Chain A
């Protein structure tokens, strides 16, 4: 499930041998070629998403918010010094213990790993602070493209202690998994060298419950570290407001039963209450069936018969992935009697929108809400 998302999962997946691994690498290059097309597609998609009154794009936010952005920018990270440095943030080490991480000043040379780290930095307007970035799963959201073109993205990055030390960053922003002993090693090695670290709370198995709150905290803490709280607040409030809007509008309605599934080789996995996806559904007032993460068969799915089904898929930039995911349910004759199939309530859900989602949290919320309450849109 969620972990399948990262590239290193592909690298060491029990189902892949060395040969698969090599072909995967090739596939990656192919993906890059297609990325232009994908970006265009996602732009069209997000434009159509904008037709409703709720803003998705940052540049279409109301004038007040626009002023806030301007103000935040003019004050800038090096602003009036209302932030007191050294600043201490509680983050984690590889043993999942909470440890204090102290920033003597605003990080200037940030090394960002993975989609959420890169996109959040760009969303906070911090592209000037990025020393290097690596390991994206798909192109950045269209609104960040311009900023992205300015940063140093390393497409074939090998994650080793050696390569990161020589880069000399002052801050590593990433997930928990890179701090594995065989990759970067635990955080204290880096802290001894005055290189701060930050692991996204919803990444890997850091927090037992992956929640929207954790995602908010992620964005807010980054805002604090870089002195751009206003912008961080804006991103978080956009999501909070949308969740409120939906729950207000659907008050008193009967709860929709929901399942989030992902197809494996010959079984299905369900995303339970402890996943960010599950938390989103619950926050939006849906009832998540099969609350635990488990492997189920077709029979179980028929028995549970949820009102709405979300089929998780990866590599969202690849064409046809969403349709293929949905069709696994729609085209299976054994599932024709499901309520969700009859009502056409089967939707695709890119994993990136509900796993360490950060900037894509709003997209996840929108897809879930639209599926459960189409009348609102």
Chain B
């Protein structure tokens, strides 16, 4: 009894520390950018915006205000929510398909999104959706494919994690070959260029209006999964075990898949595709804190957010006057860290090796 309460309190402390680190990271990161702005000015503007402190004339307009409040902060807020979303969906996907190699995009979502983006860029589909019509089409593609994967996995008997994975793989190849087909026949190199750039993912398009939509969706999704941590724990034990324990995972799996696809769809819509975070953060957190979903969902969310905030800062400053695509940077930093941890600790996915 005593021991377990001690464990709970370490977990709570870690959670609080991570939260503080996240807030600190944002406050620090907001002062870093391609244009030098004094730290004092940055905080004056934020303080004015949040608490109405200071002179309205000076702090609510002008170029410095625009840079801090309309460019840097939304971008950081987007980094946070994308990080949360990718990390949590990574955890969920790995549980759904019971496979350590799964990431948020594994069940065809990335190819579905690419196909949507290809349609939008190459054939001008969906221009009525406004300036981010590519994002909207990618969102629809991602969601559509997830639903198809689920239907396909249920054809001819109950779905299980293997069938889901196979259906995901199959539809994924169908989508990517269709994308290639369109790209080849459109013969529009400018479009190809746009497409490649789009698929690399970037947080540069952040806007407050959009964040107002994304935040509620993602946070509700995270809370939902947090509430489902018992079922998620069962998923790691497999279908047979859970049936004997009285839970049929099949239905849960389908609901989780739709919720996760929706969350990732919003990430794709607002930031394109950012790989590796969703794969690495869940493993990292599991290595350090075990496999109980009750703990690793909030921990992954915070770690993912911190990781992405710093990755975004780094990709802006690491090469002067150049913004490195964030996906490249994440893999360059993330992979070695991951390998180090893997060697350092004996780690078994799902099983509680410690």
A interface list, Cβ under 8 A from B: 1-4, 8-9, 12-14, 18, 22, 25, 94-95, 156-158, 160-163, 165-166, 168, 180-183, 185-186, 193, 204-205, 269, 293-295
**B196 interface residue per 8 A CB criterion:** yes
Contact between B190 and A162 (Cβ–Cβ < 8 Å)? no
Considering the complex of A and B, which 7 residue pairs feature the smallest CB-CB distances, nearest first? A3-B190, A182-B204, A12-B197, A181-B205, A156-B321, A158-B321, A166-B35
Q: Contacts A18-B328, A162-B72 known; A1 to B131 CB distance under 8 Å?
A: no
**In the complex, chain B residues whose CB is within 8 Å of the CB of A295:** 187
Category for how many chain B residues contact A = 35 or more
A52 to B192, CA, bound (A): 42
Please, how many angstroms separate the alpha-carbon atoms of A350 and B71 in the complex?
38
A163 touching B35 in the complex, CB below 8 Å, given contacts A181-B205, A182-B205, A186-B131: yes
A158 touches B196 (CB 8 A): no
The answer for the CA separation of A161 and B203 in the assembled complex, in Å, is 13
Q: Decide if the interface of chain B is mainly helix, strand, loop or mixed.
A: loop
Bound state CA distance, A295 and B320, in angstroms?
37
Can you spell out 21 A-B residue pairs with CB atoms less than 8 angstroms apart? A2-B189, A3-B189, A3-B193, A4-B189, A12-B325, A14-B192, A22-B319, A25-B319, A95-B127, A95-B131, A163-B34, A165-B66, A166-B63, A166-B64, A166-B67, A181-B132, A181-B205, A182-B197, A183-B204, A193-B66, A205-B190
- Complex Cα–Cα for A185 and B63 (A): 15
Are A165 and B67 within 8 A (Cβ)?
A: yes
With the chains together, A193 CA to B70 CA distance in Å?
13
Which chain B residue has the least Cβ–Cβ distance from A160? B34
Whether B323 is near chain A, meaning CB under 8 Å from some CB there, is yes
A12 and B196 contact, Cβ closer than 8 Å, known pairs A2-B190, A166-B63 = yes
Q: Is the CB of B200 within 8 A of A12?
A: yes
Tell me, rounded to whole Å, the shortest Cβ–Cβ distance linking B177 to chain A: 17
**B324 part of interface (Cβ distance < 8 Å):** yes
Residues in chain A near residue B197, CB distance under 8 A: 8, 12, 182
Contact of A13 among B33, B127, B193, B204 (CB under 8 A): B193
Which residues between 298 and 340 of chain B lie within 8 Å of chain A, taking CB atoms? 319-325, 328
Which of chain B's residues have a CB closer than 8 A to the CB of A165? 63, 66-67, 71
Q: Are A162 and B189 in contact (CB under 8 A)?
A: no
- List 4 extra interface pairs beyond A12-B200, A160-B34, A165-B71, CB under 8 A: A158-B323, A163-B34, A180-B194, A293-B187
Interface centre among B130, B196, B197, B322 (most CB of A within 10 A): B197
